[in-house]
């Protein structure tokens, strides 16, 4: 049975893989795993799923040392998926940013309400 399409929680890893493949099509899965800080098995699973979904095309080539190697290319569908995933990732991160920004605003208000000036609190935090 072919690998299933990656789920929502894997979308960030898929995006990172698509970005790296776009930058360095000659990169091995081992190098990709090392660069992204995820396991080789996970990279293999995700790359195979992307190949099965038609997002990535793989071609054999021989290096100057006659070792078998692969080139990974984003297909037009892969480029579209990368764009869509990038957009979704950006929306999620902007929502997180806005939430953190609001939390910081509320925390500053709490600090001010306690009578501590923000600059004074900074000096306290730094041990001055």
Does residue 81 carry a pLDDT above 50? yes
* CATH of span 8-92: 1.10.10.10
pLDDT for res 59: 87
Residue with tokens 């929680």: 9
Average confidence (pLDDT) over 120-125: 61
Number of Cα atoms under 13 Å in the Cβ half of residue 97: 6
For residues 37-56, average pLDDT? 94
Gap between the Cα atoms of 18 and 89, Å rounded: 13
pLDDT above 70 coverage of the chain, percent: 79
How large is the average pLDDT for residues 47-56? 94
* 29-36 helix and 11-23 helix, angle to the nearest 10 degrees: 120
Q: Span 44-54, mean pLDDT? A: 94
* Cα–Cα distance list, 99 to 32, 92, 94, 106 (Å): 32, 11, 9, 11
Q: What is the pLDDT of residue 5?
A: 44
- Model confidence at 76, pLDDT cuts 50, 70, 90, reads very high
Q: 85 with 15: CB under 8 angstroms?
A: yes
Contact 15, 78 (CB under 8 A): no
Per 3-state DSSP, the chain is made up of helix, strand and coil in percentages (nearest 5) of 65, 10, 25
Q: Cα separation of 111 and 105, whole Å?
A: 10
- Flag whether pLDDT at 106 surpasses 90: yes
Q: What local confidence, expressed as pLDDT, does residue 13 receive? A: 92
Q: Where are the domains of the chain?
A: 8-92
Residue-level pLDDT at 62: 63
User: Above 60 in pLDDT, residue 117?
Assistant: yes
Is the model's pLDDT at 32 over the cut of 90? yes
Examine the pLDDT at 2 and tell me if it is beyond 80: no
State the Cα–Cα distance between residues 45 and 57, nearest whole angstrom. Answer: 15
CB atoms within 10 A of CB 86: 13
């Amino acid at each position: 049975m072919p690998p299933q399409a990656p789920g929502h929680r894997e979308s960030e890893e898929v995006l990172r893989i698509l970005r790296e493949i776009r930058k360095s099509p000659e990169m091995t899965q081992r190098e990709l795993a090392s660069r992204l800080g995820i396991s080789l098995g996970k990279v293999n699973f995700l790359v195979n799923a992307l190949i099965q979904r038609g997002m990535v095309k793989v071609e054999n080539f021989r290096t100057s040392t006659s070792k078998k190697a692969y080139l990974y290319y984003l297909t037009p569908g892969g480029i579209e998926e990368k764009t869509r995933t990038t957009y979704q990732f950006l929306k999620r991160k902007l929502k997180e940013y806005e939430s953190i920004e609001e939390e910081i605003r509320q925390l500053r208000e709490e600090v001010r309400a306690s009578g501590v000036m923000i600059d004074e609190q900074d000096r306290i935090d730094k041990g001055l």
